[in-house]
Chain A
Amino acid sequence: MAGVSLKLSFHATGLPLVAASGAPCCPYTPEAAVAPPWKDAAAMTYGSVARMKNVDDARRLERVRMRAHLMQRLQQGDPDACRLLLDDIGPAITRFLRTRVAIDEVEDVYQEVFMALFQARHTYEAGRPLEPWLFAIARNVAADHSRRRWARAGWEELTADLPDRAEGDSPIPSPDIEALLTRLPPAQREAFAMLKLDGMTLEAAAGRAGVSVGALKVRAHRAYKALRKLINGEGG
């Protein structure tokens, strides 16, 4: 920060916009994000509300000028101006985001806003107030974030009722087919084994068993029914 040559005028309110040493004019603190700007002891001593308003307006104007100046310096690649500006706008961004995104997500969106400001810095028009530009970007990022959040919420709702286990991860152990087959009549066992275990065609299986295709179908059908009954009986 040494060697900063920012020569910004100071208003009569005594607001330390930029210290001579180059220290941040408004270092980011969470308190600053919630403290109303009119809670300024210097301003309170002026007495009348009208006067206070004038002081407040003048201070705001000075801050607008200062931010615009810092932004121009940032466009020129000045890292100190970058630090000063981001420190200064931090509380305002936080206040802005608190009204737009969930409180536990402010921090994430805050970082996204800073990234967006940084990436879009070439679009700032010198001589114009920074605030409309700044908050347009912040609003855009917050809206993007909300859209993503809603999309994610939709998916979360869809998958909320998923079973605890995946489809392949059956809690019931696979039945021991070999053991069950031994409990079938030999003709049915043979028909089932040829069709389902050996993968033979109906014709080939019927030829090997020495029966008609229709008779083999009947044996196989009876085998399925018996196996189903055995499996259900064992599983239940």
Chain B
Amino acid sequence: MGDTSQTARADRHRLLVETLAATVRPVRPLWPVRTRLTLWLLLEAVVLLRVATHTGNNFMSKLGHLNYALEVALFAGAAALAAMMALRAAIPGRRVSPREAAVAVVLMLIGTTLVMAGAPVRVGYPLGEFLHVGFGCALETCVLAALPWGALWWAVKRGAPMRGAGSGGLIGAAAMLFSFALMRINCAIDEPLHIVTWHLMPALAVTAFSAAAGAVWLRFRPRPRPL
């Protein structure tokens, strides 16, 4: 009885192996994480160039202020870290390092603190103005992130992400944090309430949305077995 089942199991294994061997084709392995990250950063650099050449904000003079330069650098750094983690998480067996994740969060928190400390919080905004200007900024934050988000999503999807929500969240965080940094260059308003409400909050919201989308569409699901 035992021998029969073992033989049957071995036969099924042989059939499975032969089926797979018969359909094997050359595949193009994924490029290394470093290469893909560099390409993604190049794409972000193109977006940055576009923003820098089309903005009415005199950001060059602001970059002389340490706080401002640090804000931009910290958010861009956190975004690059998130992108690296997203690309790495798409390779089975390679996990997101908690230390790297912690560094990205710390960078973001320091950046947010600098934003809050950079200028006094103005209250008593005319609501209409606050909303009108704010919606435009929120929209721009999303628009600037759209192309890098799509490119990173595609790069991660080409791998085999095991945790869809995590990968989706990292993709969203990478694209939106970089977009936040770009908006510090693009937007002339340095008022903390405006920045947090209309730049940072949309970034966090889209990150959450990206995580939810990742849970549904990004997770690696093999096709059904052949036998």
**Residues in A lying within 8 Å of B, measured CB to CB:** 28-31, 74-80, 82-83, 86-87, 90, 107-108, 110-112, 114-116, 118-126, 128, 131-137, 139-141, 144
Contacts and interface: CB of A to CB of B under 8 A. Distances in A.
B86 to A, nearest CB: 14
Nearest to A31: B6
Contacts of B220: 116, 120, 140
17 contacts: A29-B10, A77-B24, A86-B21, A111-B12, A111-B226, A112-B222, A112-B224, A112-B225, A114-B17, A116-B220, A123-B29, A124-B29, A131-B93, A132-B93, A134-B92, A140-B92, A140-B220
A123 B12 CA distance: 26
A42 B30 CA distance: 40
B26 A75 contact: yes
Interface in B17-31: 17-18, 20-22, 24-30
A33 to B, nearest CB: 9
B204 interface: no
Interface in B155-169: 159-160, 162
A125 B162 contact: no
B30 A122 contact: yes
B220 to A, nearest CB: 7
A30 B90 contact: no
Interface of B: 6, 9-10, 12-14, 16-18, 20-22, 24-30, 32, 90-94, 159-160, 162, 220-227
Given A74-B24, A78-B24, A121-B27, A133 B92 contact: yes
Contacts of A115: 20, 222-226
A116 B17 CA distance: 13
B3 to A, nearest CB: 10
A96 B14 CA distance: 19
A116 B90 CA distance: 14
Contacts of B93: 128, 131-137
Contacts of A29: 6, 10
A3 to B, nearest CB: 14
B160 A123 contact: yes
Contacts of B224: 112, 115
A166 to B, nearest CB: 31
A78 B22 CA distance: 10
B162 A140 contact: yes
B30 A120 contact: no
B20 A114 contact: yes
Contact of B29 (A119, A125, A136): A125
B21 A75 contact: no
A132 B29 CA distance: 17
Nearest to B25: A77
Contacts of B20: 82, 86, 114-115, 118
A211 to B, nearest CB: 65
A135 B162 CA distance: 12
Given A77-B24, A125-B91, A119 B6 contact: no
Which of B12, B29, B94 has the most A CB atoms < 10 Å from its CB? B29
A137 B17 contact: no
A45 to B, nearest CB: 29
Nearest to B13: A28
B2 to A, nearest CB: 9
